[in-house]
Amino acid sequence: MLIRQTLLYLPAQLLGPLAQLAAIVLWTHWLDPNEFGLFTLALAMQEAVYLLFLAFWSYFLLRFLPGADALLRERMDVIESWVFFANGVLQATVLLILLRYVSHDWPSPALWTTLFVFTLTRSYCTHLAERAKVADAIGVYTALQSVGPVAGLAIGWTWASLAAKGPAQIGPLEVLASYAIAQSLSLLYAVSRLRMRLQLRKPDRATWRRVCLYGLPLAISGVLAWVPGNGIRFVVEHGMGIAAVGLFSVGWTLGQRACAFAAMLVTAAAFPIALRLEAQGEKHQALEQVALNGALLCSVLVPTAAGLILLAEPLSRAAVSAPYIATTLSILPLATLAGLIKNLRSHFANQPFLLAQKTAWTLAIDMLETALFLAAAAIGLRTMGLVGAAAGALAAVSVGALVSFVIAVRKLGMPMPVAHLARIALATLVMAAGLSALPPLAGWTQLIAAVALGATVYAAALALTYRGQLGQLRSALRPNSP
């Protein structure tokens, strides 16, 4: 079931993240470091306001909607109506304050409106994608995950191409507007397909209390986890200015998004299976499913990170605009390691906490990680510049992940898939040896050939380590497999 469900979700996991990765590279050729810094700060703002005002509700629905009866669903509809209304007001207010902080002046109506529509539509795309996942509405999920990044990039790239031929110039405002248009289109489609019955009447207090007790600690944890991944841009802006954010963000975002992309290939279908087992009272089987999910995650994430680090230099020189190359070369390996560790914690170590409803524990760990980050990134930025800031973030997420795994195994009973992890590590080492033996690479043709070689070597080595289980794998891919 796990592998088949993963394949069904694969188009959504490929199209959107690939477009996001391409956008980071392509916009360096249209935006200077100052403009690119503003663009990436806008992305970071959007993720922050989503985590602050909407994520808690997304977490609650993902966890409890599958087993909800008709009465609870009706109460959820009422609460969701109020959440949507309040979210719009709060996002508008916070964005105004953040823009005032970043630009040191009140934003123009055009800037504020564009950023508000961008953040609101992107937040609701993320939220409704979680609803679609719970409902097994794979087509809606695919649209919400893919249309915004893909169509937004296409609209923006067309806009940029037309602007280059005339007197107008494209900037961060036009780029954000392109994505806002595409995200709005995907929302219109999703709302017409999903079961949504919004009604503004008095919410049930007991249900609202339950939402807050479960969702708010997770949302606060999400905000705290956002700090090392995205808040680092504001640390850099405060210490070195907007242009430094632009230079830093290329390598940092590529490493983070590449790892997130690899993780999302296999995580969309994984956790709901564990939730269904837990809802049926099969807690031990649910934890075993989490361990299997983690092994599948590592089988994709670990070789991706290793390959990206080994090919960082030829990739940076081939893909990134000249002003960004030097900084990208120094930041990308650190960003990739941080992304690897962050996703292992988010999609592996944290899942037993969600099953056991120990969200306060994740909050405590995130508080520790955030405190370490603020100290390490500030010291690193002051002593070693942009590389030091990245190293500080890496150290902080490493400590948070280590603590999470120790508690998940020792306190919550999560088994570690040691045999699977050993096979994955061996196959990754074989792949790394093959890539390291290659001569210096130059240009896209050689780079693509190296990626294909690495993937082939890894797949072959992994298949050899699982040669006794290939029959079971074929059975798992059949539609009627359990």
d(CA 91, CA 322): 36
Q: Three-state DSSP class for 152?
A: helix
Residue 92, φ and ψ in degrees, nearest 5:
-60, -40
* Nearest Cα to Cα of residue 211 among 56, 81, 356, 55: 56
Are the beta carbons of 63 and 217 closer than 8 angstroms?
A: no
Domain-located, residue 444: no
CA distances to 16, 121, 125, 149, 368 from 153, in Å: 10, 15, 16, 6, 37
Three-class SS of 73-137? HHHHHHHHHHHHHHHHHHHHHHHHHHHHHHHCCCCCHHHHHHHHHHHHHHHHHHHHHHHHHHCCC
Q: How many CA atoms lie within 13 A of 161 on its CB side?
A: 7
Cα Rg of the chain, angstroms: 22
Domain-located, residue 91: yes
Residue 5 has a pLDDT of 64
Global pTM reads: 0.80
Domain-located, residue 284: yes
Instruction: Output the tens digit of pLDDT for each of the chain's 482 residues.
Output: 556 666 777 777 788 888 888 898 889 988 899 989 989 988 888 888 888 888 888 888 777 776 666 676 777 778 778 888 888 888 888 888 877 776 677 878 888 889 899 999 999 898 888 888 777 778 888 899 899 999 999 999 888 877 665 545 678 889 999 999 999 999 999 888 877 677 777 877 888 888 888 877 877 877 887 887 788 898 998 889 889 999 999 999 999 989 988 888 777 656 767 777 777 777 888 888 888 888 989 999 999 999 999 999 999 999 999 999 999 999 999 999 999 999 999 889 988 888 888 878 888 898 899 899 989 999 999 999 999 999 999 999 999 999 999 999 999 989 999 999 999 999 999 999 999 999 999 889 999 999 999 999 999 999 999 887 666 655 544 544 44
* Nearest Cα to Cα of residue 310 among 438, 398, 397, 462: 438
- Residue 410 tokens, joined: 């020792």
Domain-located, residue 421: no
d(CA 73, CA 65): 7
Angle at 94 (CA atoms; ends 88, 97), nearest 5 degrees: 145
Beta carbons within 8 Å of 266's beta carbon, 6+ residues apart: 6, 13, 293, 296, 297, 299, 300
Are the beta carbons of 401 and 337 closer than 8 angstroms?
A: no
Domain of residue 298: give its range.
2-416
* Nearest Cα to Cα of residue 127 among 182, 184, 187, 72: 187
* DSSP H or E run through 41: helix 33-53
Are the beta carbons of 251 and 332 closer than 8 angstroms?
A: yes
Domain-located, residue 433: no
CA distances to 259, 276, 278, 363, 422 from 298, in Å: 11, 22, 23, 24, 11
Domain-located, residue 326: yes
CB atoms near residue 413 (< 10 Å): 14
Residue 109 has a pLDDT of 86
d(CA 394, CA 312): 17
Are the beta carbons of 94 and 153 closer than 8 angstroms?
A: no
Angle at 393 (CA atoms; ends 404, 387), nearest 5 degrees: 150
Residue 97 has a pLDDT of 84
* Nearest Cα to Cα of residue 174 among 189, 163, 187: 163
Are the beta carbons of 215 and 61 closer than 8 angstroms?
A: no
Residue 481 has a pLDDT of 46
Amino acid occupying residue 362: T
Beta carbons within 8 Å of 223's beta carbon, 6+ residues apart: 48, 51, 52
d(CA 450, CA 134): 38
List the helix and strand counts (H, then E) for the chain: 20, 0
Domain-located, residue 434: no
Three-class SS of 240-281? HCHHHHHHHHHHHHHHHHHHHHHHHHHHCCHHHHHHHHHHCC
Domain-located, residue 443: no
Beta carbons within 8 Å of 3's beta carbon, 6+ residues apart: 296, 473, 476, 477
Are the beta carbons of 46 and 226 closer than 8 angstroms?
A: no
Residue 4 has a pLDDT of 67
Are the beta carbons of 226 and 48 closer than 8 angstroms?
A: yes
* DSSP H or E run through 58: helix 55-64
Domain count for the chain: 1
Are the beta carbons of 14 and 265 closer than 8 angstroms?
A: yes
